[in-house]
Amino acid sequence: MSWRDRKLRPNAAPAYRTASRVLFRFPLGRRRTVIARQTVIEPGGTSGWHYHDGTLLVLVTRGTLDHPGPDCVPVTYRPGRIFREPSGPTHPHVARNLGPTPVTLFVLYLTPTNSPLSHHITPPGCADK
């Protein structure tokens, strides 16, 4: 079965109206793993506030992504935009789709081996944003 035949699977709560699939995963030595993942966020969907143990590169291919960080200031990314998400709990963020079109992301994770893809949190002052 090729990666194109694998279906997207709903992401765990607190994510809402999001689904993903892993396109590939391979180790870089014993300490790091590279993972490529496709994620779709439906209109009204959200990843929930979270952070990552490793650095991510994100490509927006469809829709408009709302992506506030720890300061809660909205940042908008449109199709064709590539951005970096730094690692660690001092860099929390949320990925939201406030528009009418699904948002499609391709994400490259450079993460410590055996770490979760994300840690869900609520940053101070951002619980209702």
84: left (phi over 0), alpha (psi -120 to 50) or beta: beta
DSSP helix/strand/coil, 56: strand
CATH for 3-115 is 2.60.120.10
pTM of this prediction exceeds 0.95: no
User: What is the mean pLDDT of the segment spanning 64-81?
Assistant: 94
Q: What is the pLDDT of residue 86?
A: 96
Break the chain into its structural domains and give their ranges.
Answer: 3-115
pLDDT tens for 18-68 read: 999 999 999 999 999 999 999 999 999 999 999 999 999 999 999 999 999
Is the pLDDT score of 4 beyond 90? no
The three-state secondary structure class of 49 is coil
